[in-house]
Amino acid sequence: MNREKVEYYLKISKICIALFILITLIVWLLPMNRVDIYFNKTLHTQGFIGEKMQFITDIANPVIAILATLLIVVIFKPARNNSFWILLKMFGGIALAVVIKFLVHRARPDNQIITNSGFSYPSIHTVSAVILVCTLYELMNQQEKRNVGLIFFNIFWVSLVMTSRIALGNHYLTDTIGGVLLSLAWVYMCNYYRLKTLDY
């Protein structure tokens, strides 16, 4: 087992957890903070751009992300152990986000273009998008060398999803940031335990 990689996964996970807790406290104590209100009003859009934002958010639907994950397992045919972790990342990450939604209990913005029910924090669209791109990156980039183009595309896609959720009035900025941090913490923690289990 590569101990350096194991420690790296644990370190990144701890950093993301700490930042997620910080964002969660901000949301809990200041649910209507100025930064969220500013971005909610500034990015809110309808018309042609709004239609494109709706298209992006439809593609990033958690149900589609789940189906894509199942398809990945079928197409890539990873080892049984890897298939388990791939599915755990997606299903576990979404389940964790749902639990946190009910614990934080944050109301959605009141200017939704396409009405979504339920609570706002964190954004499950963002959570599922991050987990999906991380899974694809790990499967498509097996070499030790980093694929900069793939990293850039993944960041670009997640940024589009985050923007679409705010532009349509379904989420605040902190909802999407919380979604990114939660999903990264979960993915890296899963990677940490996956490598740890290979030692036994």
- pLDDT for 15 equals 97
Domain count, the chain: 1
The whole model's pTM is what?
0.90
Which residue has better confidence, 51 or 184? 184
The model's confidence at residue 144, banded by pLDDT at 50, 70 and 90, is low
Q: Which domain holds residue 143?
A: 3-197
Q: How far apart are CA 177 and CA 182, in angstroms?
A: 9
- Residues 6+ positions from 177 with CB-CB distance below 8 Å: 23, 162
- pLDDT for 200 equals 47
User: What sign does the dihedral 67-57-111-32 (CA atoms) show?
Assistant: positive
Q: How far apart are CA 58 and CA 89, in angstroms?
A: 21
